[in-house]
Amino acid sequence: MRAVDGVSFSIARGETLSLVGESGCGKSTVGRSVLGLLPVDGGEIHLDGVRIDTLTAGRMRAMRKRMQVIFQDPFSSLNPRLKVRDIIAEPITNFHPAVRAEEIERRVASLLEKVGLPRDAIGRWPHEFSGGQRQRIGIARALAANPELIVCDEAVSALDVSVKAQIVNLLQDLQRELDLSLLFISHDLGIVAHMTHRVAVMYLGRIVEIGTRDAIFLQSRHPYTQALLSAAPQVEPSAAKRPRVILRGEIPSAANPPSGCRFHTRCPHAFERCVKEEPQLRRVSSLHESACHLNDERPLQ
């Protein structure tokens, strides 16, 4: 089964690219492949000019400290048998074994301050903290290795609305301060609209539309993106109110994807060509690509 196929994108330093789509579309598979947590059968992954999908285990280990992850569930992603000090110190001791104990203590304290946790958190256990505080611990752990890229895999999905906003604001502040690149995987278009620079929309293992935040939220050209946006609360106040598009049926199995355009079984605009021919991503404006045959009939923006 090809969980993800023909997916191609880049993320600049200091940029956030969000991957959005329904669950099962392959977003998390992409994130884990980028991190080297899942093997890829084809294609290439580069970090700062270095191809990383073919590196030996030893060289990949050196690269890994440059890429970290923040997982969805702040309750299961922290080791309950370690105190906060040891959770945050783990990447430092793993990737920088020569760092002395006093320096580790100082660095952990500084990371706690950076993510807005009190100093005394250092000697406490994960179960003593709320979900939002635990996610802050997860962010401090991700920052401990001094990464350049952080994959946020539904990192705020499990949090209450007000806590979500705090964590997203924290990620934005840290991004500006540390020039971090973020691959932000989420199904929450409201959060994505608030914090992303660019968006890639995935459907059944493929990117069907990719562009700047404004291109996707204000001028989407793909029927799937339009359906997703119509089902979300008014995420972009300046956008015209969208008519609700009801998608028929369930997302098909990635093991046996439909012929032609993978979205044709649910697309309200599907026509004969869509069943036979797979549309390719095509530039529809300078910073916007969309994969839909209807683009052939519309002028470029």
Q: Which residues would be at the binding site for ligand SF4 (CB under 6 A)?
A: 222-223, 261, 263-264, 267, 269-270, 274, 279, 292-294
CB-wise, 172 or 226, nearer to ligand SF4? 226
Nearest distance in Å: CB 212, ligand SF4: 20
Report the nearest approach of ligand SF4 to the CB of residue 255 (Å).
20
Distance of CA 74 to the CA centre of its chain: 16
126/223 with CB nearer ligand SF4? 223
Q: Which is nearer to ligand SF4, 183 or 261 (CB)?
A: 261
Nearer to ligand SF4, 71 or 263 (CB): 263
Q: How far apart are CB 272 and ligand SF4 at their closest, in Å?
A: 9
Judged by beta carbon, residue 87 or residue 270, the one nearer ligand SF4 is: 270
Reduced DSSP (H G I as helix, E B as strand, rest coil) percent helix, strand, coil of the chain, to 5: 40, 15, 50
| Residue whose CB is less far from ligand SF4, 115 or 261 | 261
> At 53, phi and psi to the nearest 5?
-75, -10
Q: How far apart are CA 38 and CA 30, in angstroms?
A: 9
Dihedrals φ, ψ of 297, to 5°?
-100, 0
Please give the span between the terminal C-alpha atoms of the chain, in angstroms, as a whole number. Answer: 37
**Phi and psi, residue 282, nearest 5°:** -135, 140
Indicate the residue among 181 and 295 with the shorter CB distance to ligand SF4. Answer: 295
The CB-of-227 to ligand SF4 minimum distance in angstroms stands at 10
Task: Name 3's Cβ contacts closer than 8 Å, sequence gap at least 6.
Answer: 26, 29, 205, 254
CA distance 168 to 251: 29
Q: Which two tokens stand for residue 274?
A: 């869509």
Least distance CB 206 / ligand SF4 (angstroms): 11
Query: Is the CB of 108 or the CB of 199 nearer to ligand SF4?
Result: 199
Minimum distance of ligand SF4 from residue 284's CB (angstroms): 12
Give the residue carrying structure tokens 């294609």. Answer: 43
Residues in CB range of 80: below 8 A, 6 or more apart: 125, 126, 127
Q: What angle do CA 253, 259, 261 make, to 5 degrees?
A: 95
Smallest distance from the beta carbon of 280 to ligand SF4, in angstroms? Answer: 10
Kindly state the smallest distance separating residue 278's Cβ from ligand SF4, in Å.
8
Euclidean distance between CA atoms 215 and 217, whole angstroms: 6
